[in-house]
Amino acid sequence: MNYFAQATQFKCPSCGGGLSLVDKRANYITCHYCGSVLDAQSKTHQVLTKIGKPAKFPPMSFVEIGQYADLEGVKYRVIGRTRWQMQYKEWDDEANRFADSSWIYDDWLLISEHGTYYYLVEDKEGFALSKTFWPKFPNLNQNEKLKDFETGTGRKAREYGQASVKFFEGESTFQIQEGDTIHFANYRTSAERAVVVEYSYFKDSRSLQEIKFWSDQKLSKQKVLTAFNQAENPPKKAFKQQARVQANQKRASKLAGILSLFCLACLLGLVVSCGNTDVFRQDLPVNLAKLKAQPAPASEVQPDGSTNNEAANVRLVGQTNTFELPKAGQVMMFTVGYDAPSYFDAWAGVEIVEASTGDVVNAFEYDLYRDDESYTSEYRTFKVDKPGTYLMRVYTETGATFSGSTFSISFNTDGTVPEVNEADLPKIYVEVEKAWVLTRYFLIGFLVSFTLLIIVGVSWAK
């Protein structure tokens, strides 16, 4: 039968919380529900005093009172925890001087199946196994100076100062009270091991009460996790749940990071893609006289022999100046609109012409209008195959009306050209811009990733 198999179960006389007294040598037990310090040896377990509220000092990770652990082949049970706050001086290698620091750590007391103790130190950086040792050259520090415990040579402490009890829960052979203070100094013997001299004074006295020497060996979190996970922990469910929550939080954190980056990239792409770069712009006035002077295009003969007169009213408005399209593969946006003082309903056509050869490399049509509510311009895209100098031929269709004004792109019934004030002449404007055709994808990407980010954030907060 092992040592902690005979644990005594009872209820806290203060709050009724279920407690388990494992170490039969313990004189005190502090209720980890309400913080009452109880007499462990009496049958009634009367309340002696109170220490801080446990809810204010939760454990730092998965370790908690009552859990079992397998360490170095021995089964242990967690029976106590002391929360310490350190105020100390720490050597700063970069600044080459000591700096004031503060730190918090938990000192877990575990009892083995053989009745021996194990001190597990936990802080936000991880765990360490703390064992007493017997130095060949015992000494106390004089501020930062002390002697090497093994060789007796002079040494500089890595840290020195004091630590005070902030909270205690569980079992103890002696009464631990808030404010109990120890002094200490330490140095490292390796990256994984530090040795500490710890001493306390009698209350209200400069007389030393007790000195201890500790060897603190770092333990990897994985090793501690394994030690606690392999044991048959009654609160294993809670432990597993906490481990699962931690794992989920880690995954959520990673996912949130990836989504944030993706969201930011989409937003950046969206901003960039919305900012098209102007290459060329020109206004071409619609001069009715010039239009009238042009012969009507011949009817097109269809493959079935019929004729198509749709193009009969199309007239050339003008030819733009030349512009450069220097990069093959670049997608260009060709935007066309009427700049007219009144309502209209009109058609426009554009031919993109290679200036040196006169070859038409592409052609677009635009249906444009303006009414009470909207005013349109349209764009077409074209990917440059051959870099070079280009111009545009811009066409309109006679018969289009500009209602509410005196203008119409049409001729008098007698074939003459109506007289129109120059100020009322509409213009066709053409614009050429470099296009970012991925705008919609960036937008979709941004919206999806942003939504997912919110979902992940809400789940994480829960």
Partner 1 sequence: MNQTVNCPSCGAALPQRFPAAKMLVCSYCGETSFLNADRWELAGAGKAVLADYGSMFAVGRQGKLDKKPFTVAGRLRLSYHGGFWDEWLLLFDNDEPGWLQEDEGNLTLFRQAKHVASHHLPPYEGLRVGETIQVGGQAFFIMEKNEMKIVGGEGELPFRVVPGQAGAYAEGVGKGQPLSLEYLPGEASFNLGTPLRWKDFTWEQQAQYV
Pair type for strands 68-71 and 126-132: unpaired
Site for partner 1 in 27-86 (CB under 8 A): 27
Please work out, in degrees rounded to the nearest 5, the angle formed at the alpha carbon of residue 454 by the alpha carbons of 450 and 456: 115
Residue among 102, 209, 249, 356 that touches partner 1 (CB under 8 A): 209
151 binds partner 1 (CB under 8 A): no
In the bound complex, what is the minimum distance in angstroms from residue 24's beta carbon to partner 1? 4
Least Å distance, CB 169 to partner 1, is 18
**Interactions with partner 1, residue window 255-284 (CB under 8 A):** none
> Taking CB under 8 A as the rule, does residue 143 contact partner 1?
no
Site map for partner 1, 163-182, x if CB under 8 A? Answer: ----------xx--------
* Binding piece for partner 1, criterion CB under 8 A, among 127-135, 346-354, 393-401, 421-429: 127-135
- Binding region for partner 1 (CB under 8 A) out of 17-25, 85-93, 283-291, 307-315: 17-25
Length of the chain: 462
Residue 451 CB, nearest approach to partner 1 (Å): 57
Q: Which is nearer to partner 1, 206 or 462 (CB)?
A: 206
Beta carbon nearer to partner 1, 132 or 459: 132
CB nearer to partner 1: give 206 or 237.
206
Count of residues that interact with partner 1, criterion CB under 8 A: 32
Q: In angstroms, rounded to a whole number, what is the distance separating the alpha carbons of residues 29 and 45?
A: 9
Q: Which stretch binds partner 1 (CB under 8 A): 53-61, 135-143, 244-252, 430-438?
A: 135-143
Q: Which residues of 63-91 are buried (b: 16+ CB within 10 A; e: fewer)?
A: bbbbbbbebeeebbbbbbbbbbebebbbb
* C-alpha to C-alpha distance for 323 and 284, rounded to whole angstroms: 15
- Backbone torsions φ then ψ of 123, nearest 5 degrees: -135, -175
One residue of 6, 49, 220, 308 binding partner 1 per CB under 8 A: 6
**114 versus 221: smaller Cβ distance to partner 1:** 114
Exposed / middle / buried, residue 95 (Cβ in 10 Å: 0-12, 13-18, 19+): exposed
Q: Does 145 engage in binding with partner 1 (CB under 8 A)?
A: no
DSSP annotation string for 251-312: HHHHHHHHHHHHHHHHHHHHHHHHSPEEEEEEEEE--HHHHHHSPPPPPEEPTTS-EE-GGG
- Nearest to partner 1 of 2, 249 (CB atom): 2
Please answer whether residues 430 and 282 qualify as being in contact, where contact means their C-beta atoms are separated by less than 8 angstroms: yes
Closest contact distance (angstroms) between CB of 74 and partner 1 is 8
CB of 43 to partner 1, least distance (A): 13
Among positions 36, 61, 112, 282, the unique one binding partner 1 when judged by CB under 8 A = 112
Query: Any contact of residue 17 with partner 1 (CB under 8 A)?
Result: no
- Find the binder of partner 1 among 13, 24, 363, 417 (CB under 8 A): 24
DSSP state of 7: P
Q: Which among 177, 170, 180, 168 has a CA at the least distance from the CA of 40?
A: 170
Q: Can you tell me the distance from the alpha carbon of 83 to that of 96, in angstroms, rounded to the nearest whole number?
A: 31
Q: Does 210 bind partner 1 (CB under 8 A)?
A: yes
CB of 51 to partner 1, least distance (A): 18
For 354-388, the DSSP string reads ETTT--EEEEEEEEEEE-SS-B-EEEEEEE-SS-E
How far is residue 65's CA from residue 81's CA, in Å, rounded to a whole number? 8
Question: Contact with partner 1 (CB under 8 A): which of 52, 126, 135, 297?
Answer: 135
Among the listed residues 61, 58, 85, 55, the one whose alpha carbon sits nearest the alpha carbon of residue 178? 85
Min separation Cβ 22 and partner 1, Å: 9
Let me know: does 421 contact 408? Beta carbons within 8 Å.
no
Task: Give CA–CA dist 433/435, Å, rounded.
Answer: 6
Query: Does 97 sit near partner 1 (CB under 8 A)?
Result: no
Q: Report the nearest approach of partner 1 to the CB of residue 72 (Å).
A: 9
- 229 three-state secondary structure: helix
Q: Does 5 bind partner 1 (CB under 8 A)?
A: yes
Residues 187 to 206 in contact with partner 1, rule: CB under 8 A: 199
With binding defined as CB under 8 A, does residue 250 bind partner 1? Answer: no
Residues interacting with partner 1, by CB under 8 A? 1-3, 5-6, 23-25, 27, 111-112, 114-117, 132, 134-136, 138-140, 173-174, 199, 207-213
